[in-house]
A = this chain, B = another copy of it.
Amino acid sequence: MADPGNATLLVASNRGPLSFTETDDGSLRASRGGGGLVSGLSGLSNSDTQQIVWVCAALSDGDRAAARKAPDGRLDGDGHDTGGLAVRMLDIDQATFHRAYNSIANATLWFVHHLLYAIPTSPSFDAGFRREWSSYESYNRAFAEALAAEAAPDAKVLVQDYHLTLVPRLLRDLRPDLRIAHFSHTPWAPVDYFRLLPADVARDTLLGMLGADHVGFHSPRWARAFADCCREVLGAETEDDRVTYGGRATHLGIHPLGVDAESLRERAREHDVESRVAALRRRLEDRMAIVRVDRTELSKNIGRGLLAYRELLRRYPEWRGKVTHLASAYPSRHDLPEYREYTAHVQRLAAEIEDEFGTDDWRPIVLDVTDDYPRSLALYRVGDVLLVNPVRDGMNLVAKEVPVLSENGCVVVLSTEAGVADEFGDDALLVNPFDISGTADALHTALSMPADERQQRCRRLAAVAGALPPARWLADQVDAI
């Protein structure tokens, strides 16, 4: 067992709550990110006895410079605002990080859990994959070792997401005294798809997770899929709320992350959002707005959303000139060729719709591919219909943020394959994300819905969305271990 540290609560995630950029004079400027999780942790850190450390990877040159300058690897004493938390940033060899983060986490595990492969030709788990997988193991081991060094006896550790599936087991081997939770922000693959992975990789991934005392998901569906994999691949015993393997039980927890409605509303009243709302209203005139806001991510299904909008305009011509589709698809993972091609595909489809239906007086679609958070919030406020149609999605927080901010009682057209669909049920208009015709029909129904029904649905959705804000989401998991 490694020597204990003094942290009583630890969080581990690839991306931490701080990032650094090198300025022209060679100094480092810190900026805070991490959203609700940081505020949630800050709440917990107010308690005198709680010492919190967040372990994350250095992601940029600035991060790496900051990590090297920190004497004990911690970034709390360096004049940066870390929200009361100590941050330990791991300076992992760049080539190792690239293989672990891009090739394994984002181009393999993400693809497996979201069913994104074109099976006839990908994936191919060859000798190159073996090297990548070994880097993923090293990267996970670096986290486990840092956590083991920082954690006080019997401390609690919250491990985040598919980047760090091996950490719970590696950490338990180093420090059997710790209480370990893992949370997956993604879906979990059905067993027939999970089995694409080489047998030892599939096995090690599950065993890695089962090193935790508690394994959390956004939706019961993903927890069930995980249990199915443990049963079919490992031969584990499974019940609704636990998996037992090798004499140890791991509890399954459902923690559907919600939004902090009050702080979201405050942010959306700031000037930068107000000015964008005004600009959008001028553009819309008296037309209705179908909005969507997504990363340009293969799972988000932006292309089929556009096809559904095109079919709406073809089959329900009464909406021509009466509706505008405001689609925000901001860039993501452009280091992967699939993502660059996907962005081009989405832009081509938008241009086709413009060509088919646009007039001198009316642009049927406005596709924005820049990342502008205040503009996203403005879209949330003005939208009459929100389209959220991912092919598969762990939760989808946009679907929860919009009802909170909506001014007109926004109708949510929602994929059955998003985790949030379990909570929203029929207060949203549920669609099969592959069914273009069904989605077009749902858009028509949404646009045609009477104002009072829209508002009642939207109010109920907002209540669901605020049910488990980040601070409680986090506290629940801490309590669970």
Partner of A129, one of B301, B338, B437: B437
Stretch of A1-9, A114-122, A252-260, A395-403 that contacts chain B: A114-122
- Distance in angstroms from A250 CB to nearest chain B CB is 23
| A37 within 8 A of partner (CB) | no
Stretch of A24-32, A66-74, A428-436 that contacts chain B: A428-436
Residues of chain B with a CB closer than 8 A to A123's CB: 434
Query: Are A121's CB and B303's CB within 8 A?
Result: yes
Residues of chain B with a CB closer than 8 A to A190's CB: 190-193
Partner of A127, one of B120, B126, B299, B311: B311
Q: How large is the interface on A (under 10, 10 to 19, 20 to 34, 35 or more residues)?
A: 35 or more
Query: Are B121's CB and A345's CB within 8 A?
Result: yes
Query: Are B195's CB and A126's CB within 8 A?
Result: no
Q: Digit string of A314-358 for contact with B (CB within 8 Å is 1, else 0)?
A: 110000000000000000000000100010010000000000000
| A196 within 8 A of partner (CB) | yes
**Most chain B CB neighbours (cut-off 10 Å) among A130, A304, A342:** A304
Partner of A126, one of B196, B198, B199, B311: B311
- Distance in angstroms from A194 CB to nearest chain B CB is 11
Q: Which residue of B lies closest to A201 (CB)?
A: B435
Query: Are B196's CB and A193's CB within 8 A?
Result: no
| A125 within 8 A of partner (CB) | yes
- Distance in angstroms from A393 CB to nearest chain B CB is 13
Partner of A434, one of B116, B196, B315: B196
Residues of chain B with a CB closer than 8 A to A445's CB: none
| A124 within 8 A of partner (CB) | yes
Report 20 cross-chain contacts, Cβ distance below 8 Å, ordered by A residue.
Answer: A115-B192, A117-B118, A117-B119, A118-B119, A119-B298, A120-B301, A120-B342, A121-B342, A123-B434, A124-B434, A125-B434, A126-B437, A127-B311, A130-B437, A190-B192, A190-B193, A192-B193, A192-B225, A198-B432, A199-B432
Residues of A within 8 A of B (CB): 114-121, 123-127, 129-130, 190-193, 195-199, 225, 298-299, 301, 303-304, 307, 311, 314-315, 338, 342, 345, 391, 432, 434-438
